Structure 1
């Protein structure tokens, strides 16, 4: 029974699922948060959880049924999600599990777990392999529920109340609590926290009082306001799509689900003796203000309220997340190991390389960002990285790996890193217009350079065993 339990958790399908879960939650989700990465965690999590539970109860069928029942309860009821959140908080620190019935689409993955249980791999019971897989499995399952911190403030509605311009906000953290309202009684020149009633819903259009033919409206998903003139709408103020794309990254939250729009969400007009002012709620970017002279300004977030000094300059370098360079480092390490492995050609090298790579991934995920320091991940990394480095060197040395394979493998790692990062450098400097374009080029260049490195080792590699050799080779 013991070997059966170890064989299940050490099955190649389980091991692959553990690696995918770690990659998805620590790299892919921060970079490309969305439906695909969210559902992928559910699928591989349902493959990984049953063999882990089976280690405790030693009953495969009940382990699978328990996993399915718990998953269904958590995803379909608020009580189940709350209970799961409390459980993860006790063992893993502040965590939040969300109820989402659409996640039940992942339940067929339990069949894959059952298939792995009934098709054991004899090599999976090896002690060294199991010692590595079990702690990684626990870490991967726990990490999928870990949460981050609050996102940026977002101005989502604006109105004129008792002669005061009132902007409603949400999100944020100390020193201003979530839901703070800011008001101005001097045409938007100064702002302060206010207890005035906040606008109930964002209004996307507003007219100058007394002039129903002169109105302003926001443009969906854009930092843009249009003005009605002579029966037609014309642009009154806008930020270019390229600059808006850069601002989206500047206000990126630490937790993807807290992401707020960087777009014009609501507009209000206040009539004054000398004319009128227009105030636009621009989400995480703050507000845009048209003064009585017709000049538009962006006002960003400060401790005292809205002010031009708090607006992110459009000429500032584009800000990409630290996880980009982390992903590039891990991809470069993987590319270098794959290229070297093409020269080593030993099965044991693959296991050693995977151990080293996962250890490096755990280290980076455990220390970046510092606010989310994960001592468990760092502790595991301190075990896996030295073991992986030693195993890689020993495996390569026993295989008589030629020097050129080491040189090409090292060069591949360096080149892949800069191939991945160069598009982001170009985007940050303003040479590429959109972050998505930089991401696409980064992936393409990374794959191309990694493939070139592996092919270079294969083409210049040693003759296969059993082939004829010249006198100098004997």
Structure 2
């Protein structure tokens, strides 16, 4: 009697015997429960969350994601228990530790651009959904149409899981108005995971010592002045365009708190330049006063800089956004914090450095085909980059075209350089030109960040001058010292 074939205990459920069940990985992904979870993910993240943001829609995505992720991971590891354990462990790590949340944020940022994943142990309530995923694996659907459904579900599942990560794009908070409602200080903010939404903010019921998130009225006034209740001669007002508060004293207005104009301009550099439109301003825009038994508290909305708080003792404090705490004085950036320039500056500098190196090297190779190949490489990089940065997972046509153009361009440049008999020093000068051009462009922006230049426009102008000068120097060096071997004979 021939020996029975050996089956790994995790290679397939025991009831997978029919011909249409020969692909258990796809069968799990195509199970009606998994497909339903995929549909829930897409509808919830693209329709329900924007309309009704809150705990319910947030937990719904967690539950659906935990059902979908194991069969998707199983396509790679081919071990159902391991897929479920890895999914549960990763979810727990992300939701319970700042390190896990930071790693998840970095991963989504690399794929989708700036994103923020927040740790929230309350989301662990969704972990039982892993049992649903396991049940779907142990109870496959034996209908003949299952594999066809699975073939459709693969790209749809990847898109759904990726889209739910992209939905967590985070922008810094910006306080634009403040009020006192039912003995509670309420600060209206923009930003967070859904910066387009209004009616969000933070509140404090203990005179600003602790804060919690809450919905705020969309009609909360942006007052420029406020008086202590019951004391009409004790008032405070903000100075438009400044981080400055004045108070009435002996019938005249005197400065109660301020950040100097120079420090205010410097402070604005410390904030993310990619704030939503109109929220990156560092200036006072709203004020409110709360009367307490021991005195009164003044709260000022300062845009991207958070809030300023006058406690009952009369001391003023700057409070910045602190994750998980609302506002805290320890989170307020120092007035000596380095400036932040846009990430696109790096991309521009790298592109310019590549172009400078190609021009310098091309002047040494002196072949028309070299420049054509360089343009093909450039177009390939652009196509690949645009294909990987789309609203969906990726654009396969743009990605494949980019790979083809990059391969052809790089090969053409090498062949042209070999045929042109470019000596080693020509390559060295071309590479050096590219490297020096990059640093010539970036140095003015780093000098601006450090406070050595007064304005970003000065950094732009100096960057352009240094970049052009570096390219010219590289071309001159190649023409004088490089050239092909046949020119040197």
The TM-score normalised by the length of structure 2 is 0.56
- Give 3-state SS (helix, strand or coil) of 1:319's partner: coil
Structure 1 gap ranges (5+): 1-92, 95-145
- 1:292: which partner in 2? 312
- 1:216: which partner in 2? 236
- 2:413: which partner in 1? 392
- Give 3-state SS (helix, strand or coil) of 2:473's partner: helix
- Give 3-state SS (helix, strand or coil) of 1:171's partner: strand
C-alpha spacing 1:410/1:238, structure 2 compared with 1 (3 Å): same
Q: Greater shift after overlay, 186-195 or 336-345?
A: 186-195
Report deviation, 1:158: 0.7
Of 151, 158, 176, 2:178 maps to 158
Q: Does the alignment pair 1:440 with 2:458?
A: no
Structure 2 gap ranges (5+): 1-111, 114-165
| Structure 1 residues 362-381: Cα deviation after superposition (integer angstroms, max 9, x where no partner) | 5556668x999745454443
Where do residues 36-47 of structure 1 align in structure 2 (5 Å cutoff)? none
CA contact (8 A) 2:279 2:303 kept: no
C-alpha spacing 1:197/1:360, structure 2 compared with 1 (3 Å): closer
Of 294, 312, 337, 2:333 maps to 312
- Give 3-state SS (helix, strand or coil) of 1:250's partner: coil
Of 321, 324, 331, 2:352 maps to 331
Where do residues 13-412 of structure 1 align in structure 2 (5 Å cutoff)? 149=169, 151-173=171-193, 179-194=199-214, 197=217, 199-229=219-249, 231-234=252-255, 236-238=257-259, 240-241=261-262, 244-247=265-268, 250-253=271-274, 257=277, 259-301=279-321, 302-363=323-384, 374=394, 376=396, 377-412=398-433
| Structure 1 residues 117-158: Cα deviation after superposition (integer angstroms, max 9, x where no partner) | xxxxxxxxxxxxxxxxxxxxxxxxxxxxx9994533222111
Report deviation, 1:280: 0.9
C-alpha spacing 1:187/1:219, structure 2 compared with 1 (3 Å): same
| Structure 1 residues 300-324: Cα deviation after superposition (integer angstroms, max 9, x where no partner) | 2232422224333444443334332
Report deviation, 1:394: 1.6
C-alpha spacing 1:425/1:196, structure 2 compared with 1 (3 Å): closer
Q: How many residues align?
A: 322
CA contact (8 A) 1:227 1:233 kept: yes
RMSD of aligned residue pairs (Cα, Å) = 3.8
Report deviation, 1:214: 4.4
CA contact (8 A) 1:246 1:435 kept: no
Alignment partners' CA distance in 2, 1:207 and 1:170: 26
Alignment partners' CA distance in 1, 2:216 and 2:254: 33
C-alpha spacing 1:238/1:229, structure 2 compared with 1 (3 Å): farther
Report deviation, 1:221: 3.5
- Give 3-state SS (helix, strand or coil) of 1:206's partner: strand
- 1:422: which partner in 2? 443
C-alpha spacing 1:196/1:258, structure 2 compared with 1 (3 Å): closer
